[in-house]
Chain A
Amino acid sequence: MKHLIRTLMVLVVFAALTFSAGAQGGYAEGTEISLLQWSHFVPRYDEWFDAYAAEWGEANGVGVTVDHVNFTEIFSTLAAEIDAGEGHSIVEVLFSPASFIDGLHDLGDLNAKASEMFGERASTCQAASYLPVVDTYYAYTHGYVPDPGDYDIALWTEAGYPDGPKTYDDLLEGGRAIFEATGIPVGIGMSPELDSRMANRAAIWSFGGSVQDENENVVLNSEETIAAVKYLAQLQNEAMTDEVFGWTAASNNQALIAGEVSYILNSNSAYRSLQKIDEAAAANIGFTSALEGPAGAYASSHVWQIYVIPEYVEGDELAAAKQFILDHSANYSDVTYYSELYNFPCHASTVPELDGWLEEDPWGSQPPNKFEVLKTVNDWSVHLGFPGVTNPAISQVFAESIIPNMVAQVALGEMNAEDAVAQAHERIEEIFADWRARGMVGGG
């Protein structure tokens, strides 16, 4: 009898475990996934993410490992792992990894499922994960980061712009007046680094120029681009110091925290750093949307949160990786909250609280509606390849820093704008031709 009872008990426990495994996702025992994430600029987010990933693993019967590395190491690590045919199941990158497309899984099914579950997505996210020339979703973009202007309220009020600059003309006039009166410059980088690449593109787009058109043809050499470059050179000569030629990814933060800049173009991370150090100084920082130029108001998203799954990932590991990504998107309210409103959702429906948070910052900004200007972010936040897609050629142009170098040459007085733009155009044509020959860029 005892033996029968013991056998029945074992059967009950086994059935419970089997049922539980089924409920957990039905992955084979021992299934594991590993994630390579860039160390978030908001440390609180990484703390939340690590705990979330572990919790998700327990709930789904999957072993989850998370590694964080500096953002500058992500692409070289991804390249090495694809070449080796082994490594992390999911890699998070900041910019479109279009040139890695052959080594990545097509995530068309995942993107379709996400659209089905969460509805429409921001265009800046779509363009950073889909390559039309091969009709492939090489990535899944879960978030993006707005890149508004940060301005010193007291300085700009004194200069006659209490709401900060609204147009590029305001930036030049007001920025120059502040610089002449106080010696405090505008801080728009013109060096081979991320923030400069974004800021210089924003001006070119707003003046009507761009690197490529909608059909992926190079159109940089235009009157509009030349006008933008002339404008930026004038801005540098009249409202900035030579510091901008040596701008680094930390310069925005340093300058804002030191109170030695009147206007920068940045995510909210510089402001959040200041907020933790000096609340009064942080209260003196205001935000503007993209500045209006002759052709409109555009700014690049600061970075994107893009998940890719390398091709070597297979079976249950692949299925679990996809499920992790979907579940992560479904929890995007937490993502946005714990990133201190740094990560914005690609699918607006996943963070219904967002507008409320922008009206009243949950992280204690003064005034509480400091970020309200970001309610319109989807109207002006675009992607690197705008108005086309972000293809491998655009990524290489970005990596070579061709645009900020072109602007710096003119601002330094080494070339006139016409020659600098023509020279940059020629180099970009070479890059496009090379990737087009590989069948990875349209147009031509």
Chain B
Amino acid sequence: MASGAAVLNPRRYLMDDRRFVGVIFLAPALLYILLLVGLPFLLAIAFGFSDVTVGNTELNFVGFDNFVAVWENDIFRQVFSNTVMFTLISQVFILIFANILAIIFTQEFTGKWFARFIFILPWATPVSLAAIGWLWMFDTKYSPIDYLLLQTGFLGPKGILSNSRNLFWLANPALSQISVIFVQVWRMTPLATVILMAGLSSIPTDILDQAEVDGSRFMRTLLQIKLPLILPIMVIALLFSMITMFGDMTVVYVLTRGGPVDYTRIIGLYSFQIGIEGGNLAQGAAMALFAFPLLLALALLMLRTASRAEVR
């Protein structure tokens, strides 16, 4: 009788409380977000509404003056447009390449693990190091790419592309933009691929088996089964990639510092140049915040799309 009572009323431990355990598990992530994302973000807002400089962080409220000044700055409008353009064009290529690679890497073939390892390297390499590597590749005078083009007759006195020995990758307006987009696609594609691979692996095999039994071929299975099923995950991959790219300044800082003229200058870089190098911390902060409403709206839209597309 006594033992039966013990079974009916088991002793409760703190760790048995699902809500408590939930809070404990979430706490590190929440703390990280609050301290390293939330606080700096609030600080940036405070700076944006003040006249703070690098030498004086006393906050004197100046209303929307900094935001108006940023908006009236002609250079900023080009910088904003560059940022949006680089991000959108990169995402198109990232999406295409990531899908192709995810499909390849979920097939069975010899050396798959080695290929995966090599492929993930651009993402695992520190961004500044990777950018320096590409700076050498695109060097205006000693670019190995130019050397190969020269040897194959594409460059040089009778060259198909140019009669010069160099293409001046980072000095030509169009080529410098292409170079920046190329490096961003190169370094962001692995992450998107890994996310999509996880999505593809999670598709129940019975659905794919059924499709095969029904005579569905590769393209039909891909377009009508696989892609719709991984759409929510694809949107998440895209969101990650877009937000990372929108806020990044390292690639451009190392490759071009925004040049030639303002062709590759983006919000993150311009904000740094004004706020830190130029000393006008308030205006630099206000400029950085201009991206926030756009990114927030984009994130909400994409998460909503992902949620609707989710298979229940």
Contact = CB atoms under 8 A, between A and B. Distances in A.
Contacts of A78: 54
Contacts of A435: 280
B261 A246 contact: no
Interface residues on B, range: 35 or more
Given A395-B279, A412-B260, A427-B74, A400 B274 contact: yes
A254 B141 CA distance: 9
B75 interface: yes
B259 A100 contact: no
| Residue in A83, A190, A258 whose Cβ sees the most chain B Cβ within 10 Å | A83
Interface in A192-221: 192-193
B53 A399 contact: no
A260 interface: yes
A324 B73 CA distance: 44
Contacts of B210: none
A430 B168 contact: no
A276 to B, nearest CB: 20
Interface string A343-378: 000000000000000000000000000000000000
B166 A243 contact: yes
A101 B280 CA distance: 12
Contact of B57 (A83, A400, A438): A83
Interface secondary structure of B, over-half rule: loop
A430 B261 CA distance: 19
Interface residues of A, number: 50
Contact of B51 (A254, A255, A396, A438): A438
Interface in B47-77: 51, 53-57, 69, 72-75
Interface stretch (B22-30, B169-177, B224-232, B237-245): B169-177
A78 B279 CA distance: 11
Contacts of A103: 54-57
A100 B279 contact: yes
B172 A242 contact: yes
Contact of A246 (B55, B142, B168): B168
5 contacts: A102-B55, A251-B140, A396-B274, A430-B69, A431-B278
Interface of A: 75-76, 78-79, 82-83, 98-104, 190-193, 241-247, 251, 254-255, 258, 260, 392, 395-396, 398-401, 405, 408-409, 412, 414, 423, 426-427, 430-431, 434-435, 437-438
Interface of B: 51, 53-57, 69, 72-75, 140-142, 164, 166, 168-173, 176, 256-262, 265, 270, 273-274, 276-281, 283
